[in-house]
Amino acid sequence: MTRDGHWIAQVLTLFPEMFPGPLGLSLAGEALSEGRWALEAVDIRKFAGDKHRTVDDAPFGGGPGMVMRPDVLDAAIAAAGARQPALPLILLTPRGRPLTQERVRALTDGPGVALICGRFEGVDERVVEAWRPDEISLGDFVLSGGEPAAIALIDACVRLLAGVVGEPRSLDEESFERGLLEYPHYTRPRDWRGREVPEVLLSGHHERIASWRRAEAERITRERRPDLWAQYDGQTDGAATGSGRQDRKDDVR
């Protein structure tokens, strides 16, 4: 935690008015108002030295678009770091390492995050060289700026903070927590448009239900995310025999 006792999200952005945005609603918003975490939006434009508050310029070497100026962004990072020196610095960029649930948990266990939201064609590379931020990506796609990615990363972290989710045990069975995608969920009505809830979920037999859910999680992961399945399958092969895995599936027939 930071010196004020909060997990804090510090966001360096050209659009501070975008925050808290969705983070001010639902679980994250309630936790924010309760003081379980804190949010600080740092307006990068305030660190521009000219009267027009210029934050970008044309790229050397030519090409389309504009690039965020290194002097302006450097001043913003330095000022933000002086206020919260313990926060790890992260640049949200399509060229970064993909964000994972494991990384989210590690960030949640720390004092918070300082997130740089790029705009235009990106930030001057010399800022990256000077500050060495951890470069993180949400996936293989491009956004108009880093702000939506920052909101997603913060939300993923905040929901793991103590007391934010009403039933902490539910976090243990979510997608990616055990290397698998999550199993299907059902609720009332029992029969909806001719589609019935799987009988095993109505049995009250906890072991059978747990086996069915694990088998379904494995099936969905195998079908939809072969990359995750290959990693999970390799791990389980080292911990159990093939016959053990078949026995687990037989239990739910």
Q: Which among 75, 83, 104, 74 is positioned nearest to 38, based on CA atoms?
A: 83
The verdict on 16 and 100 lying in the same domain is yes
Position 224 scores a pLDDT of: 95
> Domain of 228?
172-250
- Tally of domains within the chain: 2
Position 20 scores a pLDDT of: 98
pLDDT category at 170 given cuts 50, 70, 90 is: low
148 with 200: CB under 8 angstroms? Answer: no
Task: Inform me whether the pLDDT recorded for 133 exceeds 50.
Answer: yes
pLDDT category at 39 given cuts 50, 70, 90 is: very high
Residue 164 located in a structural domain: no
pLDDT tens digits along 195-235 = 999 999 999 999 999 999 999 999 999 999 999 999 998 77
Mean pLDDT of the region 127-139: 97
Q: Which among 6, 14, 28 is positioned nearest to 158, based on CA atoms?
A: 28
**Average model confidence (pLDDT) for the chain?**
90
> Is pTM, for the whole model, over 0.95?
no
pLDDT tens digits along 179-195 = 899 999 999 999 999 99
Least confidently predicted of 4-13, 80-89, 217-226: 4-13
Share of the chain above pLDDT 90, in %: 81
Residue 166 located in a structural domain: no
CATH number of the domain that 232 lies in?
A: 1.10.1270.20
The verdict on 237 and 212 lying in the same domain is yes
The verdict on 143 and 179 lying in the same domain is no
Residue 16 located in a structural domain: yes
Task: Inform me whether the pLDDT recorded for 24 exceeds 70.
Answer: yes
